[in-house]
Amino acid sequence: MLSEPALALTDLALGVAVVGVALALRGQPHVAGAWHRMFWWTAAAAIAGFVHHGWVAFSDVLDGPGGIVVSAMIIVAISYLLAASVHEVLGPGRRVVFWAMRLTSLAAYGGLALVGRAGIGSLVLAESATMIAVVALWAWALHRRHPLAPRVVAALGASAVAALTTLLPDAAAMAVALDPVSLYHLAQVPGIVMLAHAVTRPRPAGVVSAFSTPEMPTATTNSTLT
């Protein structure tokens, strides 16, 4: 018997879907390391969520810490999303930019966790700053006609729509026999698949980042976050 069946099973479905995506990206020569790590951490977080909602939630003692662990894994995945975006849009060697953007939301979520608010709502709120930074980077890349930008922006849009499901009233979500968070688990899949498809697109020589020029090409095989 599962403690929270809908949350557990939809997390498992999300995890299996992302594992499939991550496996499909293996061996792709154009995909930077940070993208691979982002998908694998997303899959791991979803599977950890399955375990948490399935069994850990039975324990009043372990429920809270378990939720913090799962949230921390999601934060790592989002960190790699930002790292990959900084790498693709600004070019390699931009760690200062990455950490300046990242520490804001990490500090916000850390503060919420310390006061006992480490749930999905607090995570979405704290990570909104990072996601705004990611969207801003890709909007700039779209303006500069980065070859990945149109598809990445579309994928981010699909993910934003998915996140809105957490704000639905319970009655609206229950129209599909799921609570808002369970519905969010499933709604993430299209955006993740779209993003994986976007990052496999080859980068033409000399058009690697929004700031690169044919005279100053940059490499695409290393991630910003190590």
Q: pLDDT tens digit string along 88-130? A: 998 887 776 677 667 777 777 777 777 777 666 676 677 777 8
CA pair distance 226, 222, nearest whole angstrom: 9
> Could you give the C-alpha distances from 8 to 42, 102, 221, in angstroms and in order?
15, 29, 35
The CB-side HSE value for 210 (13 A sphere, CA atoms) comes to 19
Q: Which residues of the chain have pLDDT under 50?
A: 207-208, 210-226
Question: What pLDDT is attached to residue 42?
Answer: 98
Question: What pLDDT is attached to residue 218?
Answer: 42
Q: Which helix (H) or strand (E) holds 166?
A: none
Token pair for 167: 């704000």
CA pair distance 156, 89, nearest whole angstrom: 15
Question: What pLDDT is attached to residue 61?
Answer: 94
Domain extents in the chain: 5-199
Dihedral pair phi/psi, residue 200, rounded to 5°: -85, -5
User: Count of CB atoms within 10 A of residue 213's CB?
Assistant: 11
* 169-172, Cβ contacts within 8 angstroms, sequence gap of 24 or more: none
Report pTM. 0.83
> 110, 88, 128, 112: which is closest to 208 by C-alpha?
88
Question: What pLDDT is attached to residue 124?
Answer: 67
